[in-house]
Amino acid sequence: MSDTTQELVLAADGRPLKQSLRRALMRQKIRALMLIAPLLLFVVVTFIVPILSMLFRSVENDIVPDTIPGVVTELAEWDGSVGAPPSEQVFRYLYLDLFKASEAKQHTRLGTRLNYEKTGLSSLLRTTGRSLDDVGEEWQDPLEDIDANFKDGAFWYQMMSGTDGEDLLEERRDLWAAMVGESMAGDVGFVPSEQVAQMLPWTTRAYTDFAIWTAIEDEDSVAEEDPWEAVYGALGMDLTNPETVSAIQSYTGPGADALKAAAANVGQLPQTGFREAFAAENEDWLSPDVWATIKLYSSSMTSGYFLNAVDMQLTPDGIEQKPENQQIYTQLFMRTLVMALIITASCVVLGYPVAWLLANLPMRTASILMILVLLPFWTSLLVRTSAWKVLLQQQGVINEILVWLGFVNDADRLILMNNATGTIIAMTHILLPFMILPLYSVMKTIQPSYLRAAKSLGATNWTAFWRVYFPQSVPGIGAGSILVFILAIGYYITPEIVGGTSGVFISNRIAYHISSSLNWGLAAALGSILLVVVLGLYWCYDKIVGIDNVKLGG
């Protein structure tokens, strides 16, 4: 029936037939979608979203720019090739940013992140964070001696409060939210004065940060709390600016007398800058390498995790190979793939005759033997692996039997554990059922009459098996091999227990970074590379063998 005829013919509801057919087909598709929607949602939530999250974490680097945003912005202008530390301005931002981070207990996260790239930065940031109060007191004590009003939290609140500072308040609130990962929403009970902000920019930013944290996190009244030591340090920064001192002379607002007294007695304040203050705490702050690392990893996205995952590193001079004694991940990837292939081949060699026997025995006998094949699934993986540890150790059951039989001298017991041999033996046993079951399901579909026909035409038993039976069992070998190989490269419990140092897989390193070193970015990069390798091998298998030739029976 042509489209024109469908347009002319009307359905029972009076609509054109073509339109009615389209609506009926749409309803069928919607019903089908509703049936699979729960499963689709489950797959998306439990599979797709975690994978995408892992891929994102492997390049995400928000900790540095969110924790020390002022430093990151100012450091962009620093030229690390001159071999000198950055300017005083950068150290001022470092003091205020790091003081905030230490109050929120975020400076340790920053140190941990940077320590992945340069050893020692974690302890540098942790120890410096504990001494920032002392640095601020170097300015606090002289200011309080100049005018006692600086000791009073209510005086500070009156001096810093005003109007037209809502934009600055929200800007500082957003910076807090980015650092701590929370909205920081709520009434602060304080609005900075625009006039004071223009005259004392460092002080206003520091006091606003103090007010937000005090009101939102500490749930205290800003007007009743004494400001942080960082606020005094910020006022010291402002008083080093001649324009600020000049503006204070004509200022008549709240706190004018105290500010004028401070401006008139600048000589009583510390004459050293914040660069010298940080250097006094730890000389490493004057090391260009420290600042080069901070600048290099100040972007919100980084390729550093992926480079580390392939034994390379990002340096100020570009991408470089890691020193030979630090190259471990490429070797681990190769070991994982090679051992997974050996385990897969071992399972094929051991599983094929067992599956053939199960497929050709009487059903009653085969069912009993199948129970023995499935029996390991009823035992904990940890228990099975621990049992192999008992069997394989030098004083274990296998060595004792070999010594008793005279095959091995007591002084030359076999080393079967804490190496690749132990991993291969234990994992072959654990994964063998996953090879036997696909092979058995395929072999059960092979008709015995094919072999009888081949023999009746003069073929020997071997020829009949190799030319007739084996080709029909290849799909089972393919299915079992894919299943065992993919399971093998992802195992970490068995290699961890019996593998020692030479028998562990890349998955053991991923587990280490997730649970011990907490370097989730590197773990995500390693996992992403492993995922790409598996997909690549799957694609190659499809091109060489053909995934259509893989089946589980039928």
Across 344-360, b (16+ Cβ under 10 Å) vs e yields bebbbeebbebbbebbe
Amino acid at residue number 363: M
Concatenating the DSSP letter of every residue in 280-295 gives HH-GGGG-HHHHHHHH
Concatenating the DSSP letter of every residue in 440-470 gives HHHHTTS-HHHHHHHHHTT--HHHHIIIIIH
SS3 314: strand
What pLDDT is recorded for position 11? 57
What pLDDT is recorded for position 47? 83
Percent of the chain whose predicted confidence (pLDDT) is above 70? 95
Cβ atoms of residues 473 and 552 within 8 Å: no
Cα–Cα distances (Å) from 467 to 18, 355, 356, 446, 473, in that order, read 55, 18, 16, 13, 11
Mean pLDDT across 7-24 = 68
Helix (H) or strand (E) holding 535: helix 520-544
Cβ atoms of residues 301 and 170 within 8 Å: no
Percent of the chain whose predicted confidence (pLDDT) is above 90? 48
Q: What is the DSSP letter of 322?
A: P
SS3 418: coil
pLDDT above 90 for 150? yes
pLDDT tens digits, 62-119: 999 999 999 999 998 898 878 889 999 999 999 999 999 999 999 999 999 999 888 8
Q: pTM to 2 decimals?
A: 0.80
pLDDT above 60 for 5? no
Which two three-digit tokens encode residue 192? 């900075």
User: Which residues, in sequence order, are bridge partners of residue 301?
Assistant: 60
CA nearest 278: which of 422, 405, 88? 88
Concatenating the DSSP letter of every residue in 297-308 gives T-SSB-SHHHHH
User: Which residues, in sequence order, are bridge partners of residue 314?
Assistant: 319
Which residues are within 8 A (CB) of 56 and not within 5 positions of it... i.e. 6 or more apart?
none
pLDDT tens digits, 231-279: 999 999 999 999 999 999 999 999 999 999 999 999 898 888 899 999 9
Concatenating the DSSP letter of every residue in 209-249 gives HHHHIIIIIS---GGGSPPPHHHHHHHHHHHT-HHHHHHHH
Helix (H) or strand (E) holding 113: helix 107-115
What pLDDT is recorded for position 550? 58
d(CA 428, CA 341): 11
What pLDDT is recorded for position 551? 56
What pLDDT is recorded for position 455? 86
pLDDT above 90 for 435? yes
Cα–Cα distances (Å) from 49 to 45, 301, 484, 531, in that order, read 5, 20, 25, 15
* Phi then psi dihedrals of residue 540, to 5 deg: -65, -40
Vertex 79 angle, CA 75 and 81, to 5° = 140
- 517 falls in which pLDDT band (50, 70, 90)? confident
SS3 320: strand
d(CA 130, CA 105): 11
What pLDDT is recorded for position 323? 87
Which two three-digit tokens encode residue 232? 């005094």
Vertex 186 angle, CA 185 and 190, to 5° = 120
